[in-house]
Structure 1
Amino acid sequence: MKTANLIYKALTTVLGLLAVSNLVYAQQHLPLYPQGIPNAKEAENIERNEPNAMVDSLAFDVSEPSIRLFLVPEDRATGTAVIICPGGGYHTLLTKREGSDVARVFNKLGISAIVLHYRLPNDRIMVDPSIGPLQDLQQAIKTVRERATEWHIDPQRVGVMGFSAGGHLAATAGTHYADTYIENPENTNLRPDFLLLINPVISFMDSVGHTGSRANLLGAQPSDKQLFYFSNELHVDSLTPPTFLVHSGADEVVSVENSLYFYRGLRQHHVEAAMHIYAKGEHGFLTAPSFDEWFGRCTYWMGQLGLK
């Protein structure tokens, strides 16, 4: 009996160490640009994280972009990967509620997740703040595809999920993927294979757009050219990735028209898409609908596309 107990304890220890090893690997944190950040000015890194009662934690003044990997082991991996863009109005990042928490749930489904810690627009740290977040997402897509074999990912099943302003960033990558803002000598495909847009900012037009996100990305007096370029509903075409949208009709922060306009463009161009609008629920779904409710609809749609 004593010998059996010793063997059991030894096995338990080994399994525990393996579990910890897998967990550490799954949450590996990598700088996005090991060779130097493009479009950057020399400036002190003053990034800070603050606790928040509603969303757990917030990151401010992000100037050194990175990715946090939540990778599924090869024996459980579906091959699908989702790059997650947290929201925060291009002013902050909800790195836990709209980042690592969601990544862990994807992992349970065999889907690898990559949380993007993208730069927040600021003249202090960027030459052109308007393209900084898009550069970071394009670099993340490029990195995931170029390391797909190593990370047990199918390079043709790399999608982007975005919340609120992160949804705007995701939609920008899905409509402007042909405009390359990073060094890409291998000509790696920068087009997401699918989009998951959660109460997204889509438009920057006065009638429907979120003025806070617009001002943070483009400044107080954006040009007409900038407003047109970053109003993503105006750039949907037949090559826009298949898209899932979810929003609340009661959202008083980002109007539901943002999702409606984007969905209408997808329909007009015969792009496979699904949308669910809830009658009740505030921006960010802080109290309703529940996570399991809206996320279940999201993953059901992914299953219909053979992505899970």
Structure 2
Amino acid sequence: MTYKALITGVGLLAASLFACAQQRLPLYPNGVPNAKEAENLERHEPNAVVDSLAFDISEPSLGLYLAPEDHATGTAVIICPGGGYHTLLTKREGSDVARAFNKRGVTAIVLHYRLPNDRIMIDRSIGPLQDLQQAIKTVRERAPEWHIDPHRIGVMGFSAGGHLAATAGTHHADTYIDNPAGTSLRPDFMLLVNPVISFMDAVGHTGSRTNLLGNQPSDRQLFNFSNELHVDSLTPPTFLVHSGADEVVSVENSLYFYRGLRQHHIAAAMHIYAKGEHGFLTAPSFDEWFGRCIYWMDQLGLK
């Protein structure tokens, strides 16, 4: 075999393996709702700290990572990367986590949701939530095809992605997409990693709030998107993990949400680490916090 043939064969094998690991699907095959006519300016940039960043997403999509058939559990997790509603950490809080779930027999779907922008949206405040609701609807309706149990579909969110996931979990009765079949938009469980929960001044993350709602949000908007105020008996079981030393998103966000879950007798777990910056860049290790997440899923029979 020539060197050129060997390199070509290796390249084809790598491409084949990647194709098996991920499929990229348009979220709205028939047109994006709540959209203005605008040029697609999506771009991806390398980043020394978090590996990869995506900006200006106007055409949302799903990255599908199917669990290996020989040990698939039937559970699926839709992952919402963080980035303050300004960017998406598509690798560290996306594809890397998806592959870790696959090793555990869990199908993972990375949601590349639209980033709020008046240039591309009629109503910027609901764009990301529309995309997550559409993702839940899509996964539930295609569950038989993807060998997923339609009653074991969860959402996972990091930072602002945690706010998005929590919004879907606390506002699942409010439908912002076309849903003629009445498919349930309620996640079956939530995994929230150093999440933004509140938009109230005392604990809220100002950057995420401004990017989603603009510079002068109304009192109604602040109330509506402060998810600790909307926990009820139908809120899904929730796993929370945060660092008490987080200087970007206060740990109070997780504490307030957990308190609401407790008050409504929702199955929940929370882990607070004494050390570790926002995003857990140095501590705790991925295996440490992700292992606790998997343990909680095991306890609830989700894995």
TM-score relative to the length of structure 2: 0.95
Structure 1 residue 165 and structure 2 residue 166: aligned? no
Post-superposition shift, 1:25? 3.3
Residue equivalent to 2:209: 214
Q: Which moved more, 1:31-40 or 1:71-80?
A: 71-80
Q: Tell me the equivalent position of 1:115.
A: 110
Q: 2: distance between equivalents of 1:277 and 1:178?
A: 30
Residues in 1 aligned to 2:13 and 2:119: alpha-carbon distance in whole angstroms:
44
Output the CA distance in 2 between the equivalents of 1:154 and 1:74.
14
- Structure 2 vs 1, CA of residues 17 and 141 (structure 1 numbering), >3 Å: closer, same or farther? same
What's the counterpart of residue 204 of structure 1? Answer: 199
Q: What does residue 143 of structure 1 align with? A: 138
For the residues of structure 1 that align with 2:279 and 2:13, how far apart are their CA atoms?
A: 36
Q: Which amino acid aligns with 1:222?
A: P
Q: CA deviation at 1:307?
A: 1.1
Partner of 1:194 in structure 2?
A: 189
* Amino acid of the structure 2 residue aligned with 1:64: E
SS of 2:272's equivalent?
A: strand
1:73–1:152 Cα contact (<8 Å) kept: no
Say whether the 8 Å CA contact 2:242–2:273 is kept in structure 1: yes
The answer to whether the Cα contact below 8 Å between 1:237 and 1:266 also exists between their aligned partners in 2 is: yes
Match of 2:235 in 1: 240
Q: Counterpart amino acid of 2:180?
A: P
Which structure is larger by alpha-carbon Rg, 1 or 2?
Answer: 1
Counting only pairs closer than 5 Å after superposition, residues 64-79 of structure 1 correspond to structure 2 as 64-79=59-74
Higher mean displacement: 68-77 or 94-103:
68-77
Distance 1:18 1:196 in 2: 34
Q: Which amino acid aligns with 1:230?
A: F
Show structure 1 runs of 5+ residues with no match: 1-15
Q: Residue deviations 1:181-210, cap 9 Å, x none?
A: 000011001000000000000000000000
CA drift of 1:72 comes to 1.3
- Aligned partner of 1:285 in structure 2 is 280
CA contact (8 A) 2:198 2:204 kept: yes
Q: TM-score, normalised by structure 1?
A: 0.93
* Rounded Cα–Cα distance in structure 2 between residues aligned with 1:82 and 1:253: 26
Distance 1:45 1:23 in 2: 25
C-alpha RMSD of matched pairs (Å): 1.5
SS in 2 for 1:244: strand
Give the secondary-structure state (helix, strand or coil) at the position aligned to 2:215: coil
Counting matched residue pairs gives: 294
Aligned-pair CA distance for 1:172: 0.0
Gaps of 5+ in 2: 1-10
What letter matches 2:158 in structure 1?
F
Q: Is the 8 A contact 2:68 2:102 kept in 1?
A: no
* SS class of match (1:75): helix
Partner of 2:265: 270
After the TM superposition, which parts of structure 1 deviate over 4 Å for at least 4 consecutive aligned residues? Answer: 16-23
- 1:239, 1:222 → 2: CA distance? 27
For residues 287 and 91 of structure 1, do their structure 2 counterparts lie closer, same or farther at Cα, with a shift above 3 Å needed? Answer: same
Percent identity between matched residues is 86
Task: Report if aligned partners of 2:50, 2:92 keep a CA contact under 8 Å in 1.
Answer: yes
